[in-house]
Chain A
């Protein structure tokens, strides 16, 4: 079974708006990672947040982590058409040897 589940499954916004995607997971984690996938391409790592961190920023990306609620959110500010992609959260399996991905949020940004 998948460790992380993203919400919503799909999100459509206008350029300039903010996009927020949520991820819930089931077991304790060492860190949580967010990835992006453009259509027809592989996943690309965006940001890693450790379990002792509550918030992390990278450019227009802001990730929060609430370990008490077993949830994380990815905020993309001032979205652009080029942000159109699927976004996945990932956490380690029980053995800590591999990443397990959620089903992703498909973001569509229209200009």
Chain B
């Protein structure tokens, strides 16, 4: 059963440190999304890619967040420097072409980030 893989599952770091989260999308899926989930805000769309090209990253604080797809099997979300307000669960999701219109998303199990 194909699935989206995210690493690490948990990350605890101190304020000011760099954090890198990784995602392996499902093979053949050409759209990749990063979401952040908190109790207060729910699921927020941070950024997404199609065919490895960034489509929209307007949901991301650009001064500290960056998202890339070095290749089709790896998406990364980096926070530098991290702040306590970045504490959340970060989800990666992938989908086939048409995601957003007619196709479902497949989610990883998330990276739970705690910044102290």
Q: With A97-B55, A97-B56, A101-B42 known to touch, is A42 a contact of B93 (CB < 8 Å)?
A: yes
B89 nearest CB across to chain A (Å): 9
Give the distance to chain A from B27, nearest Cβ to Cβ, in Å.
Answer: 17
Q: How far is the CB of B104 from chain A (nearest CB, A)?
A: 4
CB distance from A63 to the nearest CB of B (A): 13
Dominant SS among interface residues on chain B: strand
Cβ contacts A48-74/B at 8 Å (1 or 0 each): 101000000000000000000000000
Q: Which residues of B contact A50 (CB under 8 A)?
A: 102
Alpha-carbon gap, A95 to B48, bound state (A): 13
* Cα A44 to Cα B91 with chains together (Å): 12
The distance in angstroms between the C-alpha atoms of A99 and B110, with both chains bound, is: 17
Interface residue range, chain A: 20 to 34
- Complex CA–CA separation, A45 to B4 (angstroms): 13
Interface residues of A in 79-100 (CB under 8 A from B): 88, 90, 92-93, 95-100
How far apart are B46's CB and chain A's nearest CB, in angstroms? 10
Is A43 an interface residue, CB under 8 A from the partner?
yes
CA distance A102 to B35 in the complex (A): 13
| Interfacial chain A residues near B45, Cβ < 8 Å | 93, 98-100
From the candidates B42, B48, B99, B107, name the one contacting A102 in the complex (CB within 8 A): B42
Residue of A nearest to B107 (CB): A42
Q: How far is the CA of A48 from the CA of B105 in the complex (A)?
A: 11
Output the least CB separation between B45 and chain A (Å): 6
Query: Which residues of the partner chain B approach A93 to less than 8 Å between Cβ atoms?
Result: 45, 100
Q: B residues within 8 A CB of A98?
A: 33, 45, 48, 55-56, 99-100
Q: Could you list 24 A-B pairs, sorted by A, with CB under 8 Å?
A: A30-B101, A35-B105, A41-B109, A43-B43, A43-B91, A43-B107, A45-B104, A48-B102, A88-B43, A90-B105, A92-B101, A93-B100, A95-B100, A96-B100, A96-B101, A97-B48, A97-B56, A98-B33, A98-B45, A98-B48, A98-B55, A98-B56, A100-B45, A101-B42
Q: Which residues of B contact A (CB under 8 A)?
A: 4, 31, 33, 35, 42-43, 45, 48, 50, 55-56, 91, 93, 99-102, 104-110
Enumerate the 3 nearest inter-chain pairs by beta-carbon distance, A residue then B residue, closest first.
Answer: A42-B107, A45-B104, A103-B42
